[in-house]
Amino acid sequence: MGILYIVPTPIGNLEDITLRALRILKEVSLIAAEDTRTSRVLTNHFDIDTQMTSYHEHNKVAKLDQIYDALAVGDVALISDAGTPGISDPGYELVQGAIERGITVVPLPGANAVITALVASGLPTDSFLYVGFLPRKTSALKQRLTELANQTETIVTYESPYRLTDTLAGIIDVLGADRHVCVAREITKKFEEFYRGTAQEAYDYFTAENPRGEVTLLIAGADPTDDTWTEARVKSELAQQIADGQSLSRAAKTIAKLSGWKKRDVYELGIN
């Protein structure tokens, strides 16, 4: 029985790969890559001629058996296009199945955009919440941000440069224009940029700049001394006031004054 190695690859600068990662990629019998065309740039640069197969979200079902068959007779390395595999990609399903089959899983440390962006953001690092990709649709985005509104941990998410300003607009609307953010763009690459400021400042800047490249967005957590009510408390009080005979509009106005919420947001909770 072979070993499944989880091998991080550079997120931009090819010098960031480790010596151990290079050795493993040369020694295994198969490399399972998110996109073989992208990974060939890496393997060709380091003269690695190991057999490679694709493994990604759209072919994972068909590929799992092939990879497990390979593991029955040799070692396999799992890599992604960039960074540590298994984060916001189907790598975890391959790992999960390997564990169930009694296959040894060995993770290598290495490049990761979340941690790299976090430590340079200037935001608290003692506790953070990674939320993957935020929803694309405006209504779903605002709902998700509302759920995160009272989190005191630094929030980390991946974002497309084409949706960045829309997401910043959602942050302004739900979390407030003064909520601090850091936009980490093109980390480790030639045009690396860390923009730090309020959500409003970032929105204004990137609206004018038309950003490109990979983006990791970090959002400051809520002030732990903030007395803003949780969504559960707002819903409970809203239900109680309506049960006492108050109209939804009047109850929303009253609760907004007490809770730190906007009246329209309280009202929307009442009609959903």
pLDDT of residue 226: 67
The pTM of this model reads 0.79
Least reliable range by pLDDT among 17-26, 33-42, 121-130, 218-227: 218-227
Residues in the chain: 272
Q: Thinking of the domain 114-219, which architecture would CATH place it in? A: 2-Layer Sandwich (3.30)
User: Which residue, among 171, 124, 122, has the nearest Cα to 152 in the 3D structure?
Assistant: 124
Mean pLDDT for 10-24 is: 97
- Over residues 54-111, the pLDDT tens digits come to 999 889 888 899 999 999 999 999 999 999 999 988 899 999 999 999 999 999 999 9
Distances (CA, A) of 189 to 10, 106, 214: 10, 28, 10
Report the alpha-carbon distance of residue 239 to residue 124 in Å, rounded.
36
Residue 137 has pLDDT above 70, yes or no: yes
Mean pLDDT for 102-123 is: 97
With beta carbons less than 8 A apart as the criterion, state whether 4 and 106 touch: yes
- CATH number, span 3-107: 3.40.1010.10
Domain range annotation of the chain:
3-107, 114-219, 231-271
Report the alpha-carbon distance of residue 178 to residue 172 in Å, rounded.
8
Q: Which two tokens stand for residue 187?
A: 């980390």
Residue 227 has pLDDT above 90, yes or no: no
Residue 261 one-letter amino acid: W
